[in-house]
Structure 1
């Protein structure tokens, strides 16, 4: 008897739910969609697709509320139930907006305005069985409005170096573009009605189809016609350049650090004749880029833009500028007829709300407009394009013109349309991933293209902080965990239940844990260094480890020779340098506040002067673009917050030309949160392995290391770990 009663009860409940949904079929769709948005927001990953989804939900809630209130055929009980369910959706929207205040303005929209939003609204209404007017079924894209290269806020900052004025006077008119195709309305395609950005990200997030994310490249040519005298390009570089020779012009060059991306991009410009060429690079590598131009394309002139550009060579072939000063040079750079643009360490532009990203994207758009045929050479260089989330691709794809953030561009749309499938088909995802890759993603790993490159090992060295400073750190960590646990308990008490989310065991609710951790993280970022939080705690751990890490580096240098010492904070670097000086060691320092010339002098001294034993480097200032391969040992005195930053630092040593096995020694404070951070950093490697290298690894959480660490402290204080 009991065995049959339960299924009958389940059927009665299902039938009751079905009747309820028949009265308001749109509401369960909105409830499902708002939960998807809420889950993303809790992880701090509300990208463009989910922001549009949030906007459409808000609009449809108002629209559905008005419909239910005005429908006289609906019984009062049904109306009351429907309004209650809509209130539940609206409450989740409000809570999500409270977590990310930039969403508040989206709650106030009167209609779903963008084509993507209107398509999303149409699809959800059709899914609910609604009948739509013909003008709601057909949605066309408005012609994109061209954004000014120089936004009004930056107009007063613009400079025109005197040498540029001379160049403009020497050639006041650019050659007319007789080849630019007439802009025609894009033909209607089968996938025009589908929201595609989410599925494209999902295709990479799941590693759909497996295999490395690298486009098909031509074979190695019989002769090397590109290398200057005395130099030779490697086979993987030669194959890339052949694709440029074949006419390909947009690339995400995502080779692992140390495989010569700078040389490949400079030679690509030579093959494509993409001059004048603009290289937007981190400040720390500006001088190195100029040297690489001389090394690989000696027939071309490069000029490095410093400050207001008073000393630049206006008639150079290659203009090199760092991100920080690009904003004041936008006006003249957009007017000199650039035919190519390289963005080095392109993950720097992943934050689309930053002025840095907007400067790069608008300038790239102008170069596309000005280049004959509309097909300039655009290259994004980064060995670590994905930092925390697969939507880190967004800004890079926009820079390359593959998407506009809301939908794929015409060329990519054509490739997706040619698959003959839609996102409703499971087989669409590997095909979609391949379509994006064929647009120009090139990804090679060291182990595949540089067989003679020695191994790389990361070794952890736990150290005990057994002094008063160490005890105070452990006390502060316990206090923070207790504060988080108290917040958790207050929320559970206020809700009047034991939690309704994903259970972590022992009635610990995963959603509340994440909410508590996210609130603490937001408050910590806002408070800065003036309060006790996870950032100040980790900084104190770094300070406590400084002497121990420096002492280990001294012993290591005496045993193996040159050592690169990385730290995150200036006071840790200062303490280490004082210890090295007391030990009689000669060091160089690479920091963010140095001039470019001083920094390059230090790098040269480390690589060429046998008396220089240790390079003391900032993780943020020296973690990209530098060549420090005179050493084969790296000491990481402080841990980074991202796996990518750690990888970049180690690969300053582990790169082409290195002849010895490389060992990175991570100094980890035992019995503190430092141990958990190291574990989290290692787990974050999975995103790139899955998305870019096609390896079958378990998907790690998309939460940041900071958020995951705070969740760990909360669970531990609650007795869950």
Structure 2
């Protein structure tokens, strides 16, 4: 910190007391200009202090609103000291070098001040998303005060101006002019944005020593690609692209970061100082950071990732050679200093102690005059004449140093020195070589005619440009000097003694039509610049505007307005293409932001196809110029579907409602009935409403198009919808209730909530069900009852073991009671279809829990429907029988059809799918724990069975959901699909609803290949892999899925046991297997602890080996495979016989619909491609009725593709959870080309493990 000015020193003690009492309340600043609100130590009144600092931190200017008569006051010193806050440099310099400033400057440059694109997730939580909907910025306020501040920050604010904002105080005239033209320089644009305010807020939190934590996320290249900063009341994160990292790296040194910023050999620069008296910048050697040394020759350095001048070493930080380059020349001046400022601007900015290095580029201006000996003096200045000539200011190569202001980069610099002197004998040559430049300097114009006459021009009332000759009117006392070829006349400039080589282009009397003028100017720009006042030196326009208005006849009038600078506002002007002519001032070529598209430079009226073309394409082009617009021409930023009236329409039957629906925009509401009328007009592309412009081709309106005309009552503004239609529309539109002064408001709101929350007016009567339902099951039955009452259908997707069967039986009981009470004599029939393996399990449950209903088990060779209608209530059959008896069963009308394990019909081309579609039932209910096993297409198949026509058609479903979700991971489309299916799916997890269920622990148990397995594995891989890899790497060759899966299946069998691959399970003892040894150990430990064990494998050969071993060891076991006939006996044996210690089953046959709760250990001998199937199988043990904790072991062979499969299954385990609601795993059925290449080129290994890449 610099010394306190002498006139403020008497206030020092009181100033320290004020700072300790935190009486410096608010600090606003822009560059080195500050406004600080200070509370008086004694009177407690508040005063604003204005401070302007020099680059070194000294006070340049100051005043206080207390109006003290003394030179300084206590408030000024408090304000001044508060800027340092125990630091050596003032706040604005610390801010300029800070991480907060660098991050926010980068994001403003990338995103601008785009408030409309800032998405609010919840109060105080905002994100930015890229075009692919990837989150690239997130900020979340965690306290009331930070939420309030953040909301104020992002709320659109009044435009800041020179009169109202501090941010204009340090601007040059040129920058001000650019701002007035709507083209602010990048620094001002940033200063005026909320990004700058956000950066200053974060800087203030750091300055106040609020605790924070910085963390990073990393890309596949192991580079940081996300920085997260968490304060106690704020969480903020930024995406970091590789290209932008070098810009951010130096500023990381200003915060406590887990990634350090260091020099490669731990030698660095301690500080940098500039001596303005000598023009020398001195580099003082020190250390960037006390950190472990990393030599440039070390592996970690050589293997680091280069980012321009930086090397990134993962988990360590950023290292640079840059300081060494500067330390080679510890004293920089002249050209060396200029090069250093240009090449190391960011780095120097962070360490230069007493000066500012500005980013904004400046163009030098020049003052010209002759001395008494007629030598021409050219003096450069930046902001005001003489500023580079005073004190220690100077030009240093491509930079200028302005005393008290700092360093500025220069462009378009014409001379190397601040002052250049052209001797009298060189003036003539200088004028000839620089006449174009001189012609822009008042009093030094060059004239291509002799002094006796000069060429001028005139623009007529018809806009013709004519050149003419006029006599020079030199003042009598004007000084005149002959320089040979040129004669200088004071205040008029230089006159040629002879006709120049270009004079024949510009003859007196030469005239051009208005259409010829622009091209002529462009082709003869240099010659025309020699005519005094032909070109106007500054842009005369402040802005260009367009006014858009609709007429009563439905046309659009567009009127342009050209706003001249205030001092030109009464001056006549004319347009010549991209040039504007200001009367008596000259021509000026308008910059792109001020050029209106040619079609709209003059008033125009649009109608018909021209109007449609304008609204479809041209309106976006002119949007930056629009000043005011008819609200009917404004496309709404958002259309929210709302309803103000909901009433049951009993005339049309159960499940019909009357709605008053509107699209609500920021400007009002649009009745849907009015939109339907507009859609009926075939040639109309747009509809005009006071609430905004609606494009009738918008796909958002497709749901209106699909409804028949008789669904709309335009007089009452009513739309008739079924519950199903409402649900579908609500999924896409998220309908909200819109309160109006409606007599039926309360009733409508109640009906709306009932539809949204799936409420029914009565409670289902489950009398006759001999089962006590748990609370979550009661909720499930209530949901099923709603679907039934609304004539809908659904999928009950609860976890295995949560009693889907009981909930389905409760629905059957409720419907049976409904017709028993209200419709005597009318018999309703129910259908239950299930896998063959559980048909008798269902029969037992129905007889046990619904004894009052008669069950016909339609199964076996002697099956018959002859007595079904009169003698039975429930028809129980299998999918195989339904498929074979499709025509017979389609003749029966069922009240409810229940399809257990409905996922067996996921393939829409299967006969089972066709048979289920053919079933006639008032309501169809699917039971499944895995509605999505492999692919989103399966979900549509299941819905097409239970709710035909609800899902979009094949093409729309693929474009809306499959491609965006499965290929692009589009979270927005996931949300829509979730809303679409949510009313018709119910899924609960065991851990959420069964708090008393014992815990389940899962672990991957790793093993190694035995030497023989390793040899066999390598041989098989070498034989088959090479041609597969060639096909995979050729995008034009179809992926050979069958061959790949055949190879993988062989490798899995080898991993299991060589005897499985060699088809010799009877002699399994002749071969060694690492996995088999692990299995034997796990089985031994389980038996010693007296726990029953369930073992699953997908290979029958492996089951043979396990059973052979159990027989050899005389261990009691039960077994179910696809061919097992006595399934019921096998289950009873395992669950009730103490001597039966082990259950052996294939995943396909024993993974569904059975109860194995006698076990407490599950071993998955091999991983199934579909993790959901594994979970289903595990849930045979971990379900209602389980009294012990369950251990699950999944065996994986290290160093083989099994390890990679396990990782890929876990990585892809989110799809079902995100779409259906909850689940822990997803499936792995079909790999992409890249995934298969990745799988077959698995490289992670150690010396003890072989991998697939070893055989390349």
TM range, smaller chain: 0.5 to 0.7
Partner Cα distance (1:683, 1:388) in 2: 14
Instruction: Select which of 1083, 1095, 1105 maps to 1:575.
Output: 1105
- How many Å apart are 1:618 and its aligned residue? 0.8
TM-score, with normalisation over the residues of structure 1?
A: 0.58
Cross-structure match for 1:343: 899
Once residues 700 and 630 of structure 1 are traced to their aligned partners in structure 2, the CA distance between those partners, rounded to angstroms, is 28
Secondary structure of the corresponding residue to residue 893 of structure 2: coil
Distance change >3 Å, CA 667–CA 322, structure 1 → 2: same
> How many angstroms apart in 2 are the aligned matches of 1:426 and 1:472?
45
- Whether the 8 Å CA contact 1:254–1:442 is kept in 2: the answer is yes
Please, which of 691, 700, 712 is the counterpart of residue 1239 of structure 2?
712
By percentage of residues, which structure has more helix? 1
2:1100 & 2:860 partners in 1: Cα distance? 24
Once the two structures are TM-superposed, the CA of residue 587 in structure 1 deviates from its matched residue by: 0.6
CA distance in 1, matches of 2:1148, 2:1048: 19
In the TM superposition, what is the alpha-carbon distance from 1:433 to its structure 2 partner? 3.5
Distance 1:719 1:457, change over 3 A: same
Q: Which runs of 5+ in 2 are unaligned?
A: 1-614, 619-651, 657-672, 680-700, 707-726, 733-754, 820-827, 958-969, 1059-1072, 1244-1251
Question: Which stretch has the larger CA shift, 214-223 or 398-407?
Answer: 214-223
Query: Any residues of structure 2 matched to 1:98-177 within 5 Å, and which?
Result: none
Counterpart selection for 2:854 from 301, 306, 327: 301
Contact 1:565-1:637 at 8 Å conserved across structures: yes
Q: Does 1:548 align with 2:1093?
A: no
Distance in 2 (CA, whole Å) between partners of 1:659 and 1:474 is 45
1:556-567 matches, within 5 Å, as 556-567=1086-1097
Pair 623,429 (structure 1): closer, same or farther in 2 beyond 3 Å? closer
Please state how far the C-alpha of 1:452 moved relative to its aligned partner. Answer: 0.9
- Alpha-carbon deviation of 1:334? 1.6
Structure 1 residue 192: deviation in Å?
4.0
Which has the larger share of strand?
2
**Match of residue 272 from structure 1:** 815
Distance 2:1008 2:1182 in 1: 29
CA 1:279–1:719 in structure 2 vs 1: closer, same or farther (change >3 Å)?
Answer: same
Query: Partners in 2 of 1:707 and 1:620 — Cα distance?
Result: 29
Q: Which residue of 1 aligns with 2:1015?
A: 471
Contact 2:769 2:849 (8 Å CA) reproduced: yes
Matched, 1:600 2:1128: yes
CA change 1:561–1:220 in 2 (3 A) is: farther
Q: Highest CA radius of gyration, 1 or 2?
A: 2
Distance 1:574 1:454 in 2: 32
Query: Which stretch shifts more, 246-255 or 625-634?
Result: 246-255
Q: Is the 8 A contact 2:1210 2:1225 kept in 1?
A: no
How far the C-alpha of 1:239 sits from its partner, in A, is 1.3
Deviation at 1:719, TM superposition (A): 9.6
Residue 268 (structure 1) shift: 0.9
Cα distance change of structure 1 residues 706 and 358 upon mapping to structure 2, 3 Å threshold: farther
For 1:698 and 1:128, the matched residues in 2 are separated by 47
Give me the whole-angstrom Cα distance separating, in 1, the residues matched to 2:1188 and 2:882. Answer: 39
Partner of 1:320: 876
2:1040 is matched with which residue: 491, 499, 520?
520
CA contact (8 A) 2:1164 2:1194 kept: yes
Provide, for residues 5-52 of structure 1, a one-character-per-residue CA deviation record: whole Å limited to 9, x for no partner.
xxxxxxxxxxxxxxxxxxxxxxxxxxxxxxxxxxxxxxxxxxxxxxxx
How do residues 281-300 of structure 1 correspond to structure 2 at under 5 angstroms? 281-300=834-853
Q: Distance in 2 between matches of 1:704 and 1:301?
A: 48
1:454 matched to 2:1007? The reply is: no
Greater shift, 259-268 or 269-278, is seen at 269-278
Q: Does 1:255 align with 2:759?
A: no
Task: Give the whole-Å Cα distance in 2 for the aligned partners of 1:335 and 1:179.
Answer: 25
The answer to whether 1:310 aligns with 2:863 is yes
Which secondary structure does the structure 2 equivalent of 1:239 belong to?
helix
Q: 1:654, 1:398 → 2: CA distance? A: 32
Partner of residue 986 from structure 2, selected from 442, 453, 459: 442
Residues 653 and 194 of structure 1: is their aligned pair in 2 closer, same or farther, counting only changes over 3 Å? farther
Q: Deviations over 1:69-120 (max 9, x none)?
A: xxxxxxxxxxxxxxxxxxxxxxxxxxxxxxxxxxxxxxxxxxxxxxxxxxxx
TM value normalised by structure 2? 0.34
CA distance in 1, matches of 2:1003, 2:1052: 20
CA distance in 2 between partners of 1:404 and 1:219 (Å): 22
The RMSD of aligned alpha carbons is 4.3
2:945 equivalent in structure 1: 399
| Structure-2 change in CA distance of 1:309 and 1:573 (3 Å) | same
- Aligned partner of 2:933 in structure 1 is 387
Give the one of 1184, 1194, 1200 matched to 1:666. 1194
Task: Identify the residue that residue 627 of structure 1 maps to in structure 2.
Answer: 1155
* Contact 2:898–2:926 (8 Å) recurs in 1: yes
Which has the larger displacement, 586-595 or 272-281? 272-281
Is this contact kept in 2: 1:686–1:700, CA < 8 A? no
Select between 575-584 and 300-309 the one with higher mean Cα deviation: 300-309
Q: CA 1:377–1:720 in structure 2 vs 1: closer, same or farther (change >3 Å)?
A: farther
What is the CA–CA distance in structure 1 between the aligned matches of 2:1093 and 2:899, rounded to whole Å? 30
Output the CA distance in 2 between the equivalents of 1:556 and 1:614: 10
- Give 1:388 shift: 2.1
Offset of residue 406 of structure 1: 4.5
In 2, Cα distance between equivalents of 1:325 and 1:700: 29
Distance in structure 2 (CA, Å) of the matches to 1:404 and 1:660:
43
Contact 1:228-1:296 at 8 Å conserved across structures: yes
Which range is displaced more, 632-641 or 301-310? 301-310
Matching residue within 1020, 1037, 1053 for 1:539: 1053
How many residues are aligned here? 472
**What is the Cα deviation at residue 453 of structure 1?**
1.1
In structure 1, C-alpha distance between the alignment counterparts of 2:849 and 2:1234, rounded to whole Å: 44
Q: Note if contact 1:521-1:706 (Cα within 8 Å) is conserved in structure 2.
A: no
Structure 2: distance between partners of 1:300 and 1:283: 22
CA–CA separation in structure 2 for the residues paired with 1:283 and 1:558: 36
* CA spacing shift, 1:487–1:225, aligned 2, 3 Å: closer
Contact kept? 1:252, 1:442, Cα under 8 Å: yes
Offset from partner CA, 1:437-458 (integer Å, 9 cap, x none)? 12x2111111221111122222
- 1:644 aligns with 1172
Tell me the equivalent position of 1:498. none
1:241 aligned onto 2:781: yes
More deviation in 655-664 or 273-282?
273-282
Contact 1:484 1:714 in 2 (8 A): no
Asked if 1 retains the 8 angstrom alpha-carbon contact of 2:1162 and 2:1178, the reply is: yes
| Alpha-carbon distance in structure 2 between the residues aligned to 1:606 and 1:699 | 30
Q: Mind listing any 5+ residue stretches in structure 1 that lack a counterpart? A: 1-125, 130-177, 206-213, 369-375, 413-424, 492-511, 526-531
Residue 636 of structure 1, CA deviation: 0.6
**Would the aligned equivalents of 2:1169 and 2:1228 in 1 still touch at CA under 8 Å?**
no
Whether the 8 Å contact between 1:267 and 1:296 is mirrored in structure 2 is: no
Distance 1:432 1:487, change over 3 A: closer
Q: 2:1217 aligns with which of 663, 686, 689?
A: 689
Q: Distance in 2 between matches of 1:707 and 1:301?
A: 56
- 1:46-125 correspondence to structure 2 within 5 Å: none
Could you say what secondary structure the match of 2:1117 adopts? strand
Q: Is the 8 A contact 1:327 1:359 kept in 2?
A: yes
C-alpha distance after superposition, 1:607-628 (max 9, x if no partner): 1111111110110011111111
Conserved? CA contact 1:482–1:714, under 8 Å: no
Q: Residues 519-572 of structure 1: CA distance to partner in whole angstroms, max 9, x if unpaired?
A: 2214456xxxxxx62223223333346743652324423324211110111111
CA-CA distance at 1:635 after TM superposition: 0.7
